[in-house]
Amino acid sequence: MEEAKQTRSTLVGRRGRTPVRHAPRRPNAGLELWRGSDGQLWARTADRTAAVRPVRCFPWSEPTRFVSLRDGDEDEVALVRDLAELPHTAQRALGSALLEAGFVLAIDAVLEVDEEIEIRTFRVRTGQGERRFQTLRDEWPREMPGGGILIKDVAGDLYLVPSPGNLDARSRRLLWAFLD
């Protein structure tokens, strides 16, 4: 591990100028990130360990800077100012989670599910409007830590039901048929 470079500053007191050495602030020092066996991104700070999801902050023109890591309750666990400040393994874990997060559509309602021989067709409502997508019959929706449900379609796109309990009764009934 790299040693932190020390900088010099001067304190002025009754005895004159006294040089003081201190390490520069490293905002993500002690932050550990990894992908769990469940595919979820996990973060460990000095205070806690939690499953997190990355949320890009402004400016969006710099996608590797200012990434908020939030737990299932939307509380910020850590703020990554720049991916380059992280160790290589953490950069890879967060980088892949950011790619996935960029292609996840949140489902507000499940309108219809049709089953055919080897395919299921979902018709859902998202924040971006109504969508249709297909899944293989043996590709089941996954319950995520924190309570969400993740569905992967045949193209590899991800659809998330962030709070299944908040769905309307019909949506819950249609979705629950595919969960254990």
User: What are the 10-residue block averages of pLDDT along the chain, 180 residues in total?
Assistant: 39 44 53 90 94 79 82 90 90 84 83 94 92 92 82 83 92 86
Separation of alpha carbons 73 and 153, rounded Å: 26
CA atoms within 13 A on the CB side of 13: 6
What integer pLDDT is reported at residue 61 of this predicted model?
A: 57
What integer pLDDT is reported at residue 9 of this predicted model?
A: 38
Would you state the structure tokens that stand for residue 143, as one six-digit string? 């319950």
* Residues linked to residue 161 through DSSP beta bridges, in sequence order: 149
pTM for this predicted structure: 0.47
Going by C-alpha positions, the residue among 108, 95, 104 that lies closest to residue 152 is 104
What integer pLDDT is reported at residue 29 of this predicted model?
A: 67
Would you state the structure tokens that stand for residue 51, as one six-digit string? 């499953």
CA angle 84, 73, 42 (to 5 degrees): 40
Separation of alpha carbons 83 and 66, rounded Å: 8
